[in-house]
């Protein structure tokens, strides 16, 4: 069985300077791939999937006060089987 390539990783976090939520690629630097007025705007029906793009990716969603709320994988069938959730 062929090994699936690693998915690009992103983080959705609150940007206190701009007062919005930014989806940025992990690994330092880089501009926001997308910006949203609220976390709810970013996480509703397919919005993150569209923002990540056709190649898919893994998105860690941060809490406004710090720490991680959850992680989502797009497309869903690329979610690693060994991960909980």
Retrieve residue 57's tokens.
Answer: 């990716």
Distance CA 62, CA 6 (A): 21
pTM of the model: 0.81
Secondary structure of residue 43 in the 3-state scheme: helix
pLDDT tens sequence across 1-49 = 445 568 899 999 999 999 999 999 998 777 999 999 999 999 998 899 8
> Could you tell me the residue ranges of all domains in the chain?
9-27+34-78
The reported pLDDT for the residue numbered 32 is 94
The reported pLDDT for the residue numbered 6 is 82
Q: Where are the alpha helices (DSSP H) in the chain?
A: 39-43, 47-52
The reported pLDDT for the residue numbered 45 is 85
Report whether pLDDT(72) > 80. yes
């Amino acid at each position: 069985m062929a090994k699936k390539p690693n998915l690009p990783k992103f983080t959705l976090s609150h940007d206190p300077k701009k007062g919005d939520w930014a989806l940025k690629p992990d690994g330092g630097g880089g501009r926001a791939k997308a910006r949203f007025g609220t976390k709810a705007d970013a996480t509703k029906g397919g919005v993150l999937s569209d923002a990540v793009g056709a190649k898919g990716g893994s998105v860690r969603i941060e809490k406004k006060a710090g720490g991680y709320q959850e992680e989502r994988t797009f497309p869903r069938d690329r979610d690693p089987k060994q991960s909980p959730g």
